[in-house]
């Protein structure tokens, strides 16, 4: 899987774009995967958490206050961390392409670090 949304130096220029393409890549991965229907809830949870990252970043931009902005960014960070959990659960318990899952895990880990940094820096600006 390639993250074909990458700009110069291999990174998109806005976190909301990176989150969007991450979620899109997760959906495409799941769409191409074969798994027993008993495990569909794992994949549903991953779709929910991965799409929630970008959705909450967009909501943060539209927030009516700094408090709103911070709340939605925190939700996006929690969704990124939840996505890591589901990817690891799928990788470690199912017979799936571990290399592809590790690529997804690496990308969402970077996304979560960026969001955490944005939140931390916003707190510094308030002081």
Q: Is 73 helix (H, G, I), strand (E, B) or coil?
A: helix
On whether residue 109 sits in a domain, the answer given is: yes
Domain count, the chain: 1
Whether the CB-CB separation of 93 and 48 falls below 8 Å is answered with no
Contacts of 103 (CB under 8 A, 6+ apart): 1
Please indicate, yes or no, if residue 80 is contained in any of the structural domains. Answer: yes
122 domain residue, yes or no: yes
Residue 30 falls within a domain, yes or no?
Answer: yes
The answer to the question of residue 15 being in a domain is: yes
The answer to whether residue 1 is domain-embedded is: no
| pLDDT tens digits along 82-112 | 999 999 999 999 999 999 999 999 999 999 9
In a domain, 2, yes or no: no
- pLDDT, tens digit, for every residue of 14-69? 999 999 999 999 999 999 999 999 999 999 999 999 999 999 999 999 988 999 99
CATH number of the domain that 81 lies in?
A: 1.20.1440.60
d(CA 11, CA 47): 23
Domain that holds residue 70: 8-126
User: What is the distance between the terminal CA atoms of the chain, rounded to a whole angstrom?
Assistant: 42
Model confidence, pTM: 0.86
Q: Is residue 31 part of a domain?
A: yes
């Amino acid at each position: 899987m390639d993250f074909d949304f990458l700009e110069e130096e291999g990174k998109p220029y806005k976190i909301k774009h990176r989150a969007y393409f991450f979620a899109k890549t997760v959906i495409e991965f799941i769409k191409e995967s074969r798994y027993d229907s008993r495990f569909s809830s794992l994949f549903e949870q991953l779709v929910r958490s991965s799409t929630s990252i970008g959705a909450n970043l967009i909501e943060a931009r539209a927030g009516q206050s700094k408090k709103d902005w911070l709340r939605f960014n925190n939700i996006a960070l929690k969704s990124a961390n939840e996505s890591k959990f589901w990817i690891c659960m799928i990788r470690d318990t199912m017979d799936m392409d571990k290399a592809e899952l590790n690529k997804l895990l690496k990308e969402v880990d970077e996304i979560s670090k960026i969001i955490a940094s944005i939140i931390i820096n916003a707190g510094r600006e308030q002081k």
